[in-house]
């Protein structure tokens, strides 16, 4: 079947094996060849693509939920959206969540996802109590910070190359309501946005939307949102307490023509988005879905980029070089008129010293979406040069073009835990770069 991830690029013809029982994965692994696991295909590039794919979304049972301690154990194909439906009414929330809830637990571990709270609460790995893994020979092993700990830590960020993640046990966080207390602040340019991020270090969540087409003194003008889980005595009673309901979703029913998103439509969108907030600051309560997952409201929004698809370029730049690196990137995009419809800036806290394959490093991370066209590869190469110059790195969960091995935190050659039975288009591409 023809298959792609969220960016709809690349598309490949693959054999897909799925299973609801561990024994089925053992049978698949006994076949010759190499495999890669696929969660819900919400990585953007080629991380979970290969000619032979093990689909995990049917391996999706809840195993145990201790609603006193907030400890949840699930099979890896369970979606975060399904977990939220169960845990919110019990007064718990995910300790770390990416910008979509339609990912699997296995995908969250394999990419070691981060949220808007990396500076305050770390990556997903900081909240995982244990994993059950299946190696390429079909053997099953438990691992945790105390048991097979090297394998445990190396699995985070290894993008499925240490084996099949079968089960994940996580520590949830306690909440009193499902509302978020939000402050939204306008920044005239990216330097002011960075100052606001630094001021917001004591807030649990922070994120900024950034206008990549603005120029001069307005380079990187942004809207920064910071938030906290609202306490019971803070919210107006009509907001309800632990509700999971969401507004009806919109759908993009087919691929938009390729010309729909261009420099002019993006410029127009940015002007409206930035101008929509009149005051410099505003505060309000927002349902968790609107704060954490605004894009999930539009099903299949990836089709807006047309049939050739799109790529997300996400880099991290260490704190000492963040300002210079961001300036160079934004100047390049503004000069070339290569706006990103959705450009997101976040502040990363300290990198996790144990989860060595993870993407985050202390500093700033910028995520940019680009429609695939004849200039995309050249543009990503130019961006790579800037990221390299400032000692940054790229996020493998988004990548499909990386052209420099030194830009990824990827240790296939140095790690004994990367199992030879597992391989993806991405790992093959990156392996070649290493030679
Ligand atoms: C709108 C949107 C917003 C996003 N925002 C963020 C964000 O804020 N922060 C962030 O960190 N990420 C973000 N992402 C990326 C996404 O969280 C990751 O790519 C995540 O890994 C996707 O999970 P998935 O279940 O869809 O896995 P897939 O995309 O199918 O696979 C991702 C990787 O996990 C591996 N994998 C999946 N399941 C297993 C398993 N059971 N065993 C072994 N390996 C497995 C695959 O081999 C692959 O390498 C976003 C994605 C989208 C579409």
SS (H, E, C) 35-52: EEEECCCCCCCCCCCCCE
Do 93 and 116 lie in a common domain?
yes
- What pLDDT, on a 0 to 100 scale, did the predictor assign at position 65? 97
SS (H, E, C) 341-394: CCEEEEEECCCCCCCCCCCCCCEEEEEEEEECCCCHHHHHHHHHHHHHHCCCEE
Do 109 and 134 lie in a common domain?
yes
Burial of 415 (0-12, 13-18, 19+ CB in 10 A): middle
Rounded Cα distance between 182 and 226, Å, is 6
Residue 261 has pLDDT above 90, yes or no: no
Instruction: Say if 116 falls within a structural domain.
Output: yes
What is the phi/psi pair of residue 105, to 5°? -65, -40
Report the half-sphere exposure of 434 (CA within 13 A, side-chain side). Answer: 13
Domain boundary (123, 149, 175) is at 175
- Determine how β-strand 310-318 pairs with β-strand 179-187: unpaired
Do 212 and 242 lie in a common domain?
yes
Lowest model confidence (mean pLDDT) among 88-92, 167-171, 247-251, 313-317? 247-251
- What pLDDT, on a 0 to 100 scale, did the predictor assign at position 315? 97
Question: For residue 405, what is the DSSP state?
Answer: G
Q: What is the pLDDT averaged over residues 354-366?
A: 96
Which atom of ligand 1 is closest in space to residue 112's alpha carbon? 11
Q: What is the pLDDT averaged over residues 174-190?
A: 96
- Confidence band (pLDDT; 50, 70, 90) for 38? very high
Do 196 and 341 lie in a common domain?
yes
Lowest model confidence (mean pLDDT) among 136-145, 237-246, 297-306, 399-408? 237-246
pLDDT, averaged across the chain: 92
Residue 253 has pLDDT above 80, yes or no: no
Domain boundary (175, 197, 214) is at 175
Q: Which residues fall within 8 angstroms of residue 350, CB to CB, at 6 or more apart?
A: 362
Do 261 and 394 lie in a common domain?
yes
Residue 78 has pLDDT above 70, yes or no: yes
Rounded Cα distance between 56 and 71, Å, is 22
- What pLDDT, on a 0 to 100 scale, did the predictor assign at position 223? 95
- What pLDDT, on a 0 to 100 scale, did the predictor assign at position 305? 85
Instruction: Say if 195 falls within a structural domain.
Output: yes
- What pLDDT, on a 0 to 100 scale, did the predictor assign at position 333? 92
Residue range 81-114, pLDDT digits in tens:
999 999 999 999 999 999 999 999 999 999 999 9
CA 189–ligand 1 middle distance (angstroms): 31
Burial of 69 (0-12, 13-18, 19+ CB in 10 A): exposed
Residue 400 has pLDDT above 90, yes or no: yes
Q: Which residues fall within 8 angstroms of residue 435, CB to CB, at 6 or more apart?
A: none
Supply the residue whose CA is at minimum distance from atom 51 of ligand 1.
42
Do 277 and 202 lie in a common domain?
yes
Q: What is the pLDDT averaged over residues 420-424?
A: 96
- Confidence band (pLDDT; 50, 70, 90) for 307? confident
Q: What is the CATH number of the domain that holds 208?
A: 3.40.462
- What pLDDT, on a 0 to 100 scale, did the predictor assign at position 414? 66
Helices 319-336, 376-389: axis angle to 10 degrees equals: 150
Do 246 and 358 lie in a common domain?
yes
Q: What is the CATH number of the domain that holds 86?
A: 3.30.465.10
CA 4–ligand 1 middle distance (angstroms): 13
Q: Which residues fall within 8 angstroms of residue 265, CB to CB, at 6 or more apart?
A: none
- Confidence band (pLDDT; 50, 70, 90) for 355? very high
Do 154 and 248 lie in a common domain?
no
Supply the residue whose CA is at minimum distance from atom 15 of ligand 1.
43
Output 267 or 57, whichever has higher pLDDT: 57
Query: Quick one: which H or E segment has residue 282?
Result: strand 281-287
CB 105 within 8 A of CB 78: yes
Lowest model confidence (mean pLDDT) among 46-60, 145-159, 271-285, 289-303? 271-285
Rounded Cα distance between 334 and 267, Å, is 11
Residue 411 has pLDDT above 80, yes or no: no
Do 323 and 207 lie in a common domain?
yes
CB 383 within 8 A of CB 399: no
Give the range of the structural domain holding residue 355, as residue numbers without chain letter: 179-403
Do 287 and 207 lie in a common domain?
yes
Domain boundary (123, 158, 175) is at 175
Is the bond leading into 21 cis (omega within 30 degrees of zero)? no
CA 38–ligand 1 middle distance (angstroms): 9
CA 48–ligand 1 middle distance (angstroms): 9
Q: What is the pLDDT averaged over residues 192-204?
A: 98
Instruction: Say if 427 falls within a structural domain.
Output: no
Pocket test for ligand 1, best of 4, 42, 61, 421 (most atoms within 8 A of CB): 42
Which atom of ligand 1 is closest in space to residue 76's alpha carbon? 41
- What pLDDT, on a 0 to 100 scale, did the predictor assign at position 54? 98
CA 41–ligand 1 middle distance (angstroms): 7
Q: Is 426 in the pocket of ligand 1 (CB under 6 A)?
A: no
What is the phi/psi pair of residue 121, to 5°? -135, 5
Do 137 and 218 lie in a common domain?
no
Do 207 and 146 lie in a common domain?
no
- Kindly state the percentage of the chain with pLDDT values over 70: 91
Instruction: Say if 24 falls within a structural domain.
Output: no
- What pLDDT, on a 0 to 100 scale, did the predictor assign at position 435? 66
Number of domains within the chain = 2
- What pLDDT, on a 0 to 100 scale, did the predictor assign at position 264? 65
Rounded Cα distance between 232 and 8, Å, is 42
Lowest model confidence (mean pLDDT) among 1-5, 86-90, 339-343, 369-373? 339-343
């Amino acid at each position: 079947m023809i298959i792609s991830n969220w960016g709809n690029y690349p598309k490949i013809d693959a054999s897909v094996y799925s299973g609801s029982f561990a024994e089925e994965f053992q049978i698949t692994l006994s076949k010759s060849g190499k495999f890669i696991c696929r969660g819900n295909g919400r990585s953007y590039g080629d991380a979970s693509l290969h000619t032979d794919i093990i689909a995990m979304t049917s391996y999706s049972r809840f195993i145990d939920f201790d609603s006193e301690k907030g400890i949840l154990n699930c099979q890896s194909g369970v979606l975060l959206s399904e977990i939220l439906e169960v845990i919110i009414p019990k007064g718990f929330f995910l300790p770390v969540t990416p910008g979509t809830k339609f990912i699997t637990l296995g995908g969250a571990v394999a990419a070691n996802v981060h949220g808007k709270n990396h500076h305050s609460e770390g990556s997903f790995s900081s909240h995982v109590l244990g994993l059950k893994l299946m190696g390429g020979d079909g053997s099953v092993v438990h691992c945790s910070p105390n048991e097979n700990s090297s394998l445990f830590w190396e699995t985070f960020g290894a993008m499925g190359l240490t084996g099949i993640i079968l089960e994940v046990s996580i520590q949830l966080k306690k909440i009193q309501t499902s509302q978020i207390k939000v402050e939204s602040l306008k920044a005239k340019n990216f330097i002011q946005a960075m100052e606001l991020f630094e001021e917001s270090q004591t807030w649990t969540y922070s994120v900024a939307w950034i206008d990549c087409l603005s120029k001069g003194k307005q380079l990187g003008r942004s809207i920064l949102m910071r938030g906290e889980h609202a306490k019971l005595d803070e919210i107006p009673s009509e907001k309800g307490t632990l509700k999971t309901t969401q507004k009806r979703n919109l759908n993009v029913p087919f691929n938009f023509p390729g010309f729909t998103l261009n420099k002019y439509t993006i410029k127009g969108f940015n002007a409206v988005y930035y101008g929509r907030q009149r005051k410099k600051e505003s505060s309000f309560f927002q349902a968790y879905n609107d704060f954490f997952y605004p894009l999930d409201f539009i099903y299949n929004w990836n089709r807006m980029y047309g049939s050739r698809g799109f790529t997300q370029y996400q880099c991290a730049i260490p704190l000492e070089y963040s300002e210079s690196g961001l300036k160079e990137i934004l100047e390049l995009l503004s000069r070339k008129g290569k706006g990103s419809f959705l450009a997101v800036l976040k502040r990363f806290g300290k990198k996790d010293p144990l989860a060595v394959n993870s993407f985050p490093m202390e500093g700033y991370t910028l995520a940019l979406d680009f429609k695939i066209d004849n200039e995309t590869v050249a543009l990503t190469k130019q961006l790579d040069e800037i990221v390299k110059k400032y000692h940054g790195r790229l996020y493998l969960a988004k990548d499909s073009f990386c052209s420099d091995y030194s830009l990824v935190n990827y240790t296939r050659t140095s790690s004994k835990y990367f199992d030879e039975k597992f391989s993806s288009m991405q790992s093959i591409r990156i392996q070649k770069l290493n030679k």
